[in-house]
Structure formats: structure tokens, C-alpha cells
Structure 1
Amino acid sequence: MLHDSPPPRSGAAAPAAEPADDSDFLAHYLARIGLPAAPAPTVNGLAELQAAHIAAIPFEALDALTGAGVDIGADAVAAKLIDRRRGGYCFEQNALFLRVLVALGFRAEGLIGRVRWMLPDDAPPTPRTHMTVRVWLDGRPWLADVGFGAAVPPQPLAMDHGDAQPTRHESYRIRPRAGGHRVEADIAGEWHVLYDLDDAPAPAIDYELGNWYTSQHPASHFRNQLVAARTTAEARHGLRDNRLTIRRADGSSEQRYLTADEIEAALATVFLLTPEPGWRHAIERAATAEIIR
């Protein structure tokens, strides 16, 4: 149940609000993800953008964990993820990506869904707390998600069939369901549900409410765990409190448990973040976490 108080406004009409002139924004974004020029609005161009984004801009939710709050207004997201070289979670990552795609001439729209990752099939419905992007290319819908942590799809996924789609990491499939789609990943030979998506584009208030729940509600796991992730062509890197996991594209993996100083160092070297003084208490708490090994 939500608290009685209303969610804070982010200051934007929608997560993907586009200013009148996005040329400077695009130049700064492309520099941030390491691309010398904007790709063409094609499937290959979309794949190039998606891979560069998830390798350069880490998934993290430290502002939710520390209580700093998460502003999903377009200017706030750009200032944080581009100018301050921070990461973010889905409402920030995919809002930024959607803004970029629209500015580059892609036909794109935001979708919202319910996370089902690591839940049993009979678990009750979860809130709508995951934003994704749908891109239309030559009449075909493609899922472009840059904000699902250590299981983020590393490339666009076709949404018009339910067959397995291999990627350089796991295989994915998108199956139709009543009112939308179910996104699944093949983890170690077994299909696992990531999230259920509504088919209709979401209004701005759905992102506002989802972001408020995710960043403020005590039941949100981002309020209780230190989480970071980054995916490159070679490997997936995931941090959950004091557990660092590396899963390589060749199938090998490793896992280590870190001290507070090692967590801080990993945030800098693995996840490309500059640790801030306000994070230290959360880092020290994460270092003492008891995780089932």
C-alpha cells in the first residue's frame, strides 16, 4: 500500500520531455557513451547506441538507498547521468535513452511494466516499477531496455514473435500475454521471467508514481540494498551489497565478497563511479550484509 502523502513531482511533464534544441544535449550524450558520431535510425544504429550506453553508464540506485531521492525530470536526469557521470535506474536510464532516440529521429515511446525477476510464478502482482522503451523500425516493434541491472538485454529485441533471440550474453524471448508482453531470459538453460510489460504507452503519471515507489517506499529493495551493474561486450558486472559477481560472455564467472573499502574501490574501477562522501554510511552497512552464499 502506498503512503497517504502524494508522490513528489519531478518537474517534468514526462520522463522523455524534449527541449526545442537538443544538439548540445546529443553531443554531450554521445561523448558520454564514447561514440564519435550519431548512428543512423536503423536496427544496427539502435544496437550500437544500446551497447555503448550500458557499457558507459552504470545501473545504480545509490540516491534511493541514501535517501537523496530521485528526480526524473529531463534536465535532472541529463545533469546526473551525463554531466555528473553518475548512473541511475530504469526511470532515469530509459528516460534518457528515449530522449536520445527521439532526438535522433527514431520513432520511440515509453512502456511500463511489473518486475517478476526472481519471483515464483504464483507471487502476487508487483507494482508498475519498470520503464522500458519500444522503438518502431520499418513497421516492427523492438524492445530497447538500458535499465534492468545485471540482466539488461544487451541489444534490441524483436517484440513481434516469441522465439528465442540469442545475444552475446543470454538468450531472450518476448511472449505475448493479455494486454502486453512477458520478457524472459535463458539463465543457465532455464527460462526466467524478467518483467511483464503493458502494451499501451504509459502516461507521465505512471512513471511519477513508479519512481516514487521505487525510490521512497520502504518495501522497495533499492531502499535496502546497495545495487550496481554494468554490462560490456565481454562481461556482466553486478554488485549486491558486498557481493561482486562477474559473468563473462564465454560462460565463466567469479564471485567475491568485499570489505567497505573494496566496495568503494569497485564502484570506482568496475562501475565507473566517483564515490561521494554521502555514500560511505551505506557502503559500510552493505559490507556487513549477510547474503545467502
Structure 2
Amino acid sequence: MGRGAAPAVDLDAYFRRIGYDGPREPTLDTLRAVAFRHPDAIPFENLDVLLGRGISIVPGDVDAKLIGAGRGGYCYEQNGLLKRVLQALGFQVEGLMARVLWMAPEGAPPRPRSHQVLGIVIDGETWLADAGFGGCVLTTPLRLFSDEVQDSPHGKFRIVDTQTNGVAERQVQADLSGRWAPLYQVSQGAWAEVDYEQANFYTYTHPSSHFTWSMTVGRTTPTARYALKNNRFTHRDVTGAVVEQRDLSVDELEATLREVIGLPVEADWRPVLEKVVAWGTPA
């Protein structure tokens, strides 16, 4: 993995945003601290897609939205920002790509690679970091090439060998109440920043992308995971057990986005939230 030049990011502003005031050396402890705080402070959300605004992954636009405006975003925004932060700290980091398996029916055909994740090399070992996977986001880096069960502040994970059409991949799985649920399969080989442009455009425009016809929101705090799929609200504890799950009215959805997720809800979101409630929870 190469370091490569990265567009400047205001580290002071980013660290204020995630509430971090610790060391800035490129160590595993620093990586763990940032990975823990990022998904608490910067939620996963696709509101701009539903608002018809499109998603820019130009660094300045991402920083203005996720840092300056107090908004969240999806994987290309979240992990694009995290990558530049880690590079600015001196980490050896590259962008990777994964095919999502989360909630896919058993036996379903392979999905295209559509999810950006990060690989960080520390003392010769590659760690997987991911700040952009909704309600099951990682809150600690994982050893990408270890088959052992790995603990995190929000449950256990493991990464195992698998193949898609004869191509080796690493499958990330989460322990959901004793059942290993696949999240995604990570492909080897770095992606250049320009490679993500086409995938991002597909994600926010193509009718087969669920981000164009459903709302997905997530936030992970030190004591909980919160997720919204349209108007279905799910609150899990750190073990993954469901604490609460219910469908929200428009007023409740707006309040939850503001008070639980921590988003600066805007007046022009209301028609979209009404549409989301009318859609109901996808099967």
C-alpha cells in the first residue's frame, strides 16, 4: 500500500466534530479511538439522494457537509473523509471495495462491488476500517487477514475466506445473537479516488440502488446502535439485542432524526419524510 498525496483536511475541525483530543501519532490506539468516535458524531444517511441533491465526493464538498454543516453521509463520503484524515496523521492507508451481502436472501446472485472500505497497514499487518455501513458500522478496526473472532465495542465480528466467481475475497460477518450474519466481501487491490466516481454516481442515481427509493440512517453511540429504514426505527444495545423497534409517524421521524440521530433537520425535508412514511418499511 502506498501513502500517496491526499487533499488537505482540517484535522482540528474534524477532531472537534468527533470529540477527540487525544494523540495524533499513527498508532493502533489512535486508529481505534477515531474509529470509535466517528460513527457516533457523523451519522450514516442518504437524505440528499432523496432530496434530489446528488452526492459529491469532492473533498471540499464532503468536508463542508460532514464537518462544517453537521450532516452525515454514506460510504463514499464517510470513508473518503476518514481516509484523508488517516493519511494526514501519517497512516499507510488505501481505499478498497466490497460487495454488500447484508440482508441479501440466501442463494441470491452476487451483487456488484459498491461499498468503499479502508485498509490500513500498521507494523506490517492490514486492518480494516469502515465508518460508512449504516446501523452495523464498525466501531473498531479489524484484522483483515485473521480468521479469529474479533471483539469490538459493539459486538463480535469475524472475517473469513470466500470466493465470488473464483476470485478470492474476505467476508466480514457480525455476530447477531449467536448467528453469523454476512455484511460484505472485501476485494483485494487498491482503488484510486477517480475509481469511486462512477460507483458513487450509480449509487445515487440508478433505480436499482436502494438509496434512490428508501431512507437509510444509522448512528452508533458508546451504548447503542440506532437505525432507520424508512420509518422503521430500531434501537439495539451493544450486544446487538433489540431494545426497541417500531414504526414512526412523520412528526416522530423528524424528531428522531434531530434528537436521536443528531442531524440538523431542515424545513424542506418534510415532504421527503412524508413520502418515506407513506412508503413504509421495505420487506
CA contact (8 A) 1:226 1:282 kept: no
Residue 211 of structure 1: aligned partner: 200
Partners of 1:37 and 1:157 lie apart in 2 by: 21
Q: In structure 2, what is the Cα distance between the partners aligned to 1:45 and 1:125?
A: 35
Letter in 2 for 1:116: L
In 2, Cα distance between equivalents of 1:18 and 1:271:
30
After TM superposition, give the deviation of residue 17 of structure 1 in Å: 6.5
Relative to structure 1, is the Cα distance of residues 226 and 263 closer, same or farther in structure 2, using a 3 angstrom cutoff?
A: same
Q: Helix, strand or coil: the match of 1:68?
A: coil
Higher strand content, 1 or 2 = 2
1:133 equivalent in structure 2: 118
Question: 1:123 deviation in Å?
Answer: 1.3
| SS, match of residue 100 in structure 1 | helix
2:231 aligns with 242
Q: Deviations over 1:235-262 (max 9, x none)?
A: 0000111111100125451112211111
> What does 1:2-81 correspond to in 2, within 5 Å?
18-19=6-7, 22=9, 25-81=10-66
Contact 1:98 1:133 in 2 (8 A): yes
Residue 259 of structure 2: which of 250, 262, 269 is its match? 269
Q: Where in structure 2 are there 5+ consecutive unaligned residues?
A: none
Q: How many residues align?
A: 275
Does the Cα contact within 8 Å between 1:244 and 1:258 map onto a contact in 2? yes
**TM-score, normalization by structure 1:** 0.89
- Which one-letter code corresponds to 1:31 in the other structure? R
| TM-superposed deviation, 1:197 | 1.2
Kindly report structure 1 stretches of 4+ aligned residues shifted beyond 6 Å. none
Post-superposition offset of 1:162: 1.2
Moved more, 141-150 or 168-177: 168-177
TM-score by structure 2 length? 0.92
Quick one: which amino acid aligns to residue 88 of structure 2? A
Shift of 1:198: 1.1
CA displacement, residues 159-200 of structure 1 (integer Å, 9 cap, x when unaligned): 121111122222111112333311111112111111111110
- Report the 3-state secondary structure (helix = DSSP H, G, I; strand = E; otherwise coil) of the residue aligned with 1:99: helix
C-alpha separation between the residues in 2 aligned to 1:38 and 1:89? 27
**Structure 1 position 285 matched with structure 2 position 275:** yes
CA distance in 1 between partners of 2:84 and 2:179 (Å): 34
Distance across 2 between alignment mates of 1:239 and 1:163: 31
Q: What is the CA-CA distance between 1:204 and the residue it aligns to?
A: 2.9
Aligned counterpart, 1:98: 83
Given candidates 215, 219, 244, the residue that maps to 1:226 is 215
Cα offset, 1:36, TM superposition: 2.0
> 2:91–2:121: 8 Å Cα contact kept in structure 1?
yes
Cα distance in 1, alignment partners of residues 5 and 271 from structure 2: 35
Instruction: Give secondary structure in 2 for the equivalent of 1:210.
Output: helix
Change in CA separation of 1:37 and 1:174 when aligned onto 2, cut-off 3 Å: same
Question: Which runs of 5 or more structure 1 residues have no equivalent in the other structure?
Answer: 1-15
Task: Kindly state the Cα deviation for residue 290 of structure 1 after the two structures are TM-superposed.
Answer: 3.1
Tell me if structure 2 keeps the 8 A contact 1:30–1:38. Answer: no
* 1:258 maps to 2:248: yes
| Matching residue of 1:113 | 98
Moved more, 272-281 or 135-144: 272-281
1:146 aligns to 2:131 (yes or no): yes
Corresponding residue for residue 178 of structure 2 = 189
| CA shift for structure 1 position 78 | 0.6
2:165 corresponds to 1:180: no
Contact 1:17 1:74 survives alignment (8 Å): no
Counterpart CA distance in 1 for 2:115 and 2:147 is 21
Establish whether residue 198 from structure 1 lines up as the match of residue 198 from structure 2: no
SS in structure 1 of the partner of residue 78 of structure 2: helix
C-alpha separation in 2, matches of 1:58 and 1:290: 21
Identity of aligned residues (%): 42
Separation (CA, whole Å) in 2 of partners of 1:37 and 1:167: 20
State the shift of 1:266 in Å.
0.8
